[in-house]
Structure 1
Amino acid sequence: MNLLNISALEIAAKISRKEVTVTEVVKFYINRIKNHEDLNCISALFETDALEQAEQLDRLNMTSKRLSQFHGVPILLKDNLDVKGYVTQAGTVYLDYIAQESCALVQQLESLGFVILGKVKMTELAFGLSGQNPIQGTPLNPWSKKQLAPGGSSSGSCVAVAAGLSPLSIGGDTGGSIRTPAALNGIFGFKPSSDKIVSSGVVALSKTLDTLGPISLRSEDIFELYPLLSNTQIPLLRDDLNELYYLSEEDFPYPLDDEILQLWNKLLKELTAHGFVLKKWDLPTEFNFETLSNYTSTIIAYESYLYHGKDAENMQNEMWKVVRERVLRGKNISLEDYQYAIEQRTLFEQTFKNSLVDSQFLLLPVSPIFAVELDAQDTSFTHVGDYTRPFNYLNAPCFTFPIGNNSENLPMGVQLVSYNDNDHLLLEQAKLIVSRLGIQPEIAVI
């Protein structure tokens, strides 16, 4: 039985047709996880509970009772989500409380018939985009035999999907933490607008900016799952969403690697060839990537210290020095500066929306670099957030999709963004792009 390189929806359809049982599917992925422990992306495997869930779902399937179109599909969770009876580590080694209740999202997933396979590793406290975690161990980017950055903070979420350890996973995005690892692992990821997916029962980095979202190998899984989690209906595929804004090279906040620039220009040509009208996005006078990125960083730092400052100041807690310093930096941010960043947010959201006058969508890169070797001070990823953090501040929904690989076979993706609360039309536009360009990535060969 081979369940690789097909969608979660196809797996569920096989279960529905009784070509395979939920138990067989779950065992397939448990075995695959065990066979690829070298990827170091799993923080906890719920083997016993997952098999019990599978048996229950099999009994329902035998009576043709399906809980949703995803009935019986395994899924992995970022380890800042509470699952009843398990420790929520959030990438740390000092958090050791056992969750008394599952978070709201986990309860939703179980009600839809998903099997919770386990939890995946992440950047400590979700504070970093490289995916590096020297305390717990950094997941291995499956596209290289070397230890290259998996992208973070949803590192394990994306590595697991890219390596075929699960057809779907849940990640979180505060400054680019779904988009970056999705791009570096050659898969799909979606960061919704805030509060579209309920986030209660999740260890926070910044409650103002934290956003949960799905990650998948096949785009149709996100298009089908998101409405179920958010009570948002995605309209039927239209063929008249042909106009797109794009960020021109002269406005890039940081230069792209030469091969990424080649892939970017190739994508623009392909979009034009497939009937899309591309328009250069004119940045509003008030709009500056660095300014918005700094506002984002101010909010993250202030709120991370609010939630985790005492733990960071307690030197008995084993923490990566880099993350400890990032949390403690928030102590020096004044309440006035924090409140000003919050107040300006609404104004910039409206400015951004007004700038998308002819088209509701903007296409731009995710990362200026491919996965690179990690360094102790985590400086090699300094400029990755230049492309992602501003859109957390703008509360913009963002859909990341792969666009190709470089000469060393390392993948890269780009992001399609829209204004706050326009998630449904953004996904419709993304569906049209993926359909016309025939984007169907395959798992990394490991």
Structure 2
Amino acid sequence: MNLLNVSALEIARRIAEKQISCVDVVQFYIDRIKQYAALNCISDLFESEALIQARKLDLLTAKGKQLSPFHGIPIVLKDNLHVQGYITHAGTVYLDHIAHKNCALFNKLESLGFIILAKAKMTELAFGLSGQNPLQGTPHNPWSKQVLSPGGSSSGSAVAVAAGLCPIAIGGDTGGSIRTPAALNGVLGFKPTAHKINARGAIPLAQSLDSLGPIALASEDIIEFYQLLKQDQSHLAVMPLNSIYYLDEKDFPNPLATEILQLWRQHLQALQQKGIQLRAWQKPKDFDFAHLSDLTSTIIAYESYHNHGKAAENKQNKMWEVVRQRVLRGKDIAVSEYQLALAQRLEYQQAFAESLGGDACLVLPVSPIFASALDPEDQGFRHVGDYTRPFNYLDAPGVAYPIGFSTEQLPIGVQLVAAQGKDQLLLQHLQQLTTTLSLAGRVADLA
């Protein structure tokens, strides 16, 4: 049995048609997780619990009952989500509190017939986009034999999907932490508008910006997952993708690597060839990527200090010094500066929505670089967030999807974003775009 490069929904269809069992599927992924343990992306494997749950779901299947279109699908959670009986490490080595109950998302997923297979490693406290974690060990980007950045902070979740260790995973995005690892691992990653997916029972980085979302190989999995998990039950009439805004090169906050720029231009050309009208996006007045990125960083630093400042100040807590200093930066941010950053959000959000006309999306890069070598001071990724953080500040839903590979076979993706609350519009356009261009994620060849 080979389930690689098969969507989660297709696997579930095979389960429903009794071609394969839930136990078979779970065992397939357990075996791969063990086989490729050197990727270092899994923090806890729930082997016995997952097999017990699979047997229960097989009994339901035998009776012709399916809990959802994802009945029997194994899923991996980011390790900032509470799972009863296990430590929620959140990428640290000092947290040792065992969760006494499951997070809200765990319970919801189980009610839909998902099987919680494992928890994935992540950047310490979710504070960083390279995915580097010197203390726990950095998940290995599966597209390279060298140790290259997996992207963060949902590093383990993206690596697990890209390596075929699970068909779908949960990540979290505060400044680009779903979109960046998705782009660098050749998979899809969706950051919804904040708080659309219940985050109760998650260790926060910055509650004003944190957003949970799925990482998968196929757009159909992302879309169906969101329909089942979003907290509001609103629906939207289908909006055809006739045109799309794009970020003009003159407005790039940082130049793209040569091969990424070539792939970007080819992607725009492919959209045009499929009859999709491209419109150069006109930035709203006073819209500056660097400034919005700085405002996002102000909120993250202030709120992360509120959440983790005592731990960072305690020198007995073993922390990566880079993350410790990022958290401690929040101590020096005045309440007035933080409140001003929050107060200005609404004005920027309205201006951004108006710039898109209410029924369009914007496509732009995610990262100006491919996966790269790690550096001790984590400076190599300092400009990646310039493409992602502004859209956390705008509370804009965004989804990364793959567009190609470098000559060294390193994947890269771009992102599609929409105005705050336009998640369903965004996903409809994603579906049409990926279907039209036959774009999907791909499992790395680990042989």
Alignment TM-score, normalising by the size of structure 2: 0.98
TM-superposed CA distance for 1:234, in Å, is 5.8
Pairing of 1:372-387 with structure 2 (within 5 A): 372-387=372-387
Contact 1:73 1:113 in 2 (8 A): yes
Contact 1:46 1:118 in 2 (8 A): yes
Pairing of 1:361-380 with structure 2 (within 5 A): 361-380=361-380
2:45 is aligned to 45
TM-superposed CA distance for 1:241, in Å, is 2.0
Amino acid across the alignment from 2:63 = T
Q: Could you list the per-position Cα deviations for residues 205-248 of structure 1 after superposition, in whole angstroms to 9, with x for gaps in the alignment?
A: 0000000000001111011110100044665765x321111000
SS of the residue corresponding to residue 414 of structure 1 reads strand
2:124 is aligned to 124
Partners of 2:399 and 2:331 in 1: CA distance: 33
TM-superposed CA distance for 1:440, in Å, is 2.6
Contact 1:237 1:432 in 2 (8 A): no
Partners of 1:326 and 1:317 in 2: CA distance: 15
Contact 1:244 1:359 in 2 (8 A): no
SS of the residue corresponding to residue 128 of structure 1 reads coil
Q: Could you list the per-position Cα deviations for residues 256-283 of structure 1 after superposition, in whole angstroms to 9, with x for gaps in the alignment?
A: 0000000000000000000100000111
Q: Does 1:347 align with 2:347?
A: yes
2:326 is aligned to 326
2:357 is aligned to 357
TM-superposed CA distance for 1:326, in Å, is 0.3
Amino acid across the alignment from 1:155 = S
Q: Percent same amino acid among aligned pairs? A: 59
TM-superposed CA distance for 1:196, in Å, is 0.5
Partners of 1:99 and 1:44 in 2: CA distance: 13
TM-superposed CA distance for 1:284, in Å, is 1.2
SS of the residue corresponding to residue 344 of structure 2 reads helix
1:101 is aligned to 101
Amino acid across the alignment from 2:11 = I
1:415 is aligned to 415
Partners of 2:173 and 2:211 in 1: CA distance: 5
Q: Could you list the per-position Cα deviations for residues 34-74 of structure 1 after superposition, in whole angstroms to 9, with x for gaps in the alignment?
A: 00011000000000111111111111111111110100000
Partners of 2:185 and 2:88 in 1: CA distance: 25
TM-superposed CA distance for 1:359, in Å, is 4.9
Amino acid across the alignment from 2:361 = F
366-375 or 56-65, larger mean C-alpha shift: 56-65
Q: Could you list the per-position Cα deviations for residues 80-117 of structure 1 after superposition, in whole angstroms to 9, with x for gaps in the alignment?
A: 00111111000001111111111111111000000000
SS of the residue corresponding to residue 401 of structure 1 reads strand
1:210 is aligned to 210
Pairing of 1:223-302 with structure 2 (within 5 A): 223-230=223-230, 231-232=232-233, 235=236, 240-302=240-302
SS of the residue corresponding to residue 363 of structure 2 reads strand
SS of the residue corresponding to residue 56 of structure 1 reads helix
Amino acid across the alignment from 2:422 = N
Alignment TM-score, normalising by the size of structure 1: 0.98
Judging changes above 3 Å, is the alpha-carbon distance between structure 1 residues 350 and 107 closer, same or farther for their aligned structure 2 residues?
same
Partners of 1:388 and 1:40 in 2: CA distance: 26
Q: Does 1:113 align with 2:113?
A: yes
Contact 2:47 2:117 in 1 (8 A): yes
119-128 or 90-99, larger mean C-alpha shift: 90-99
Contact 2:359 2:425 in 1 (8 A): no
Number of residues paired by the alignment? 445
SS of the residue corresponding to residue 169 of structure 1 reads strand
Contact 1:153 1:177 in 2 (8 A): yes
Structure 2, unpaired ranges of 5+: none
Runs of 4+ in 1 over 6 A off after TM superposition: none
Amino acid across the alignment from 1:5 = N
Contact 2:186 2:411 in 1 (8 A): yes
Pairing of 1:35-184 with structure 2 (within 5 A): 35-184=35-184
Contact 1:226 1:232 in 2 (8 A): no
SS of the residue corresponding to residue 388 of structure 1 reads helix
Contact 1:232 1:424 in 2 (8 A): no
Contact 2:216 2:441 in 1 (8 A): no
2:403 is aligned to 403
Q: Does 1:431 align with 2:434?
A: no
* Structural RMSD (CA): 1.0
TM-superposed CA distance for 1:77, in Å, is 0.4
Structure 1, unpaired ranges of 5+: none
Amino acid across the alignment from 1:422 = K
Partners of 1:334 and 1:38 in 2: CA distance: 44
Q: Does 1:7 align with 2:1?
A: no
Partners of 1:177 and 1:11 in 2: CA distance: 27
Amino acid across the alignment from 2:89 = Q
Amino acid across the alignment from 1:410 = L
Contact 2:188 2:440 in 1 (8 A): no
Partners of 2:225 and 2:233 in 1: CA distance: 10
Partners of 1:51 and 1:401 in 2: CA distance: 32
TM-superposed CA distance for 1:357, in Å, is 2.1
Amino acid across the alignment from 2:354 = N
TM-superposed CA distance for 1:369, in Å, is 0.3
2:192 is aligned to 192
SS of the residue corresponding to residue 327 of structure 2 reads helix
Judging changes above 3 Å, is the alpha-carbon distance between structure 1 residues 127 and 120 closer, same or farther for their aligned structure 2 residues?
same
1:306 is aligned to 306
Amino acid across the alignment from 1:26 = V
TM-superposed CA distance for 1:191, in Å, is 0.3
Partners of 1:61 and 1:432 in 2: CA distance: 32
Amino acid across the alignment from 2:86 = Y
Judging changes above 3 Å, is the alpha-carbon distance between structure 1 residues 235 and 345 closer, same or farther for their aligned structure 2 residues?
closer
Partners of 2:81 and 2:445 in 1: CA distance: 29
Partners of 1:94 and 1:305 in 2: CA distance: 17
Partners of 2:357 and 2:153 in 1: CA distance: 33
Partners of 1:263 and 1:284 in 2: CA distance: 27
Partners of 1:81 and 1:249 in 2: CA distance: 38
Contact 1:162 1:443 in 2 (8 A): yes
283-292 or 381-390, larger mean C-alpha shift: 283-292
Partners of 1:182 and 1:161 in 2: CA distance: 9
Contact 2:241 2:433 in 1 (8 A): no
